[in-house]
Structure 1
């Protein structure tokens, strides 16, 4: 008779993701995971594989949720300039409120594991591509409906906004002056016209 899992796999992935996000991949031990997740070592291995597999699944779970949230957020903001401004300002506010100063899980993973662990390069590149594509489509929509008159290359602008978004997550780990961060965003968003 197969054993019945007494835990919610997505809830465990969320908990694992938060632990990896806070401590990093290398600093998180299997024992840390056992203690934090509240499930035994055998269940972790049986359900998720080893630590690296659990990390990869947590990372995929995070990026999937993040992309869904970004898409839903921008789709519900018909004003392109205001949508980007609100997105960046929300990111700043969330980062400043985070007492653990975690930053962005993707950025943290990139700086910790790349270039020494090529197993994550594809997932990180995919995340970058999806983010930039969402930003590009949003800018294109603004251009098509007459909100934007810019002659800038929209793909290059989308890439720049992705860099800014990730940069804010890094800088907010050490810079907690909300006014200064928002002012920097205002200057960058002058490119969207």
Structure 2
């Protein structure tokens, strides 16, 4: 079978199909059988060969979204200052329409302890070090006036991805907007003035999508 010869192709097909269904029907309403039916040529057993549960599938879907963001490409763009790199990362994240829809359709699973634990590990072990590198570059080129510490990068990534995640903490549009601008004031105070008009506009579009 194809999954034995090219397992990565099968995995990506499962994730592509699952994402489409999660966004169309909602995570809770989508079943493994729905994924099987839409794939057409795989059995439940073939899916369970790669994923033990629907929770594992959405975890893989979410991680792939993060990995597909051009973070490494931004990090290695030597034409940008450290602050410009940070801004670009924020804009790319806020402009991800699929991620925005997933927050709306799968808010319950976002709060699942196992799922959240996996996401937190990804933020701290993968994303925070990349953020720290950008902050350090910003300090060196003069665009950021802050200490490029491990703690600062971890706090920023957790505030942005967890505290400001509408799938984790219920808030109306006004409360969510207040949190965003509090984060702006905090980052300005810490010497990381990353939230400018472009990011504010991207946030407004993100907000409109989440609270539509």
After TM superposition, the score normalised by the length of structure 1 is: 0.64
Deviations 1:27-83 (A, max 9, x none): 432222223x3325x524225438634642552354145135233234337222233
Q: With CA pairs under 8 Å and 6+ residues apart, which has the higher RCO, 1 or 2?
A: 1
**Structure 1 residues 82 and 139: CA distance shift in structure 2, 3 A:** same
- Per the TM alignment, residue 136 of structure 1 is displaced from its structure 2 partner at its CA by 1.4
* 1:33 aligned to which of 20, 32, 35: 35
**Structure 1 residues 72 and 94: CA distance shift in structure 2, 3 A:** same
CA distance in 1 between partners of 2:64 and 2:103 (Å):
17
**Structure 1 residues 158 and 101: CA distance shift in structure 2, 3 A:** same
Q: Which moved more, 1:45-54 or 1:133-142?
A: 45-54
Matches within 5 A, 1:101-120: 101-103=101-103, 109-111=109-111, 113-114=112-113, 118=114, 120=115
**Structure 1 residues 122 and 90: CA distance shift in structure 2, 3 A:** closer
- Per the TM alignment, residue 165 of structure 1 is displaced from its structure 2 partner at its CA by 2.1
| Aligned CA-pair RMSD | 4.2
Indicate if the aligned counterparts of 1:80 and 1:142 stay in contact, CA closer than 8 A: yes
Matches within 5 A, 1:61-140: 62-69=62-69, 70-76=71-77, 78-94=80-96, 101-103=101-103, 109-111=109-111, 113-114=112-113, 118=114, 120=115, 123-129=118-124, 130-140=126-136
**Structure 1 residues 178 and 57: CA distance shift in structure 2, 3 A:** closer
After TM superposition, the score normalised by the length of structure 2 is: 0.60
- Per the TM alignment, residue 150 of structure 1 is displaced from its structure 2 partner at its CA by 1.6
Indicate if the aligned counterparts of 2:26 and 2:106 stay in contact, CA closer than 8 A: no
Structure 1, unaligned runs of 5 or more = none
Aligned to 2:201: none
**Structure 1 residues 79 and 99: CA distance shift in structure 2, 3 A:** closer
* 2:154 aligned to which of 149, 156, 159: 159
Aligned to 1:15: 17
Deviations 1:140-181 (A, max 9, x none): 222234433324x62222122212322444179852899877
2:187 corresponds to 1:189 = yes
Structure 2, unaligned runs of 5 or more = 194-212
CA distance in 1 between partners of 2:86 and 2:58 (Å):
27
What secondary structure does 1:49 align onto? helix
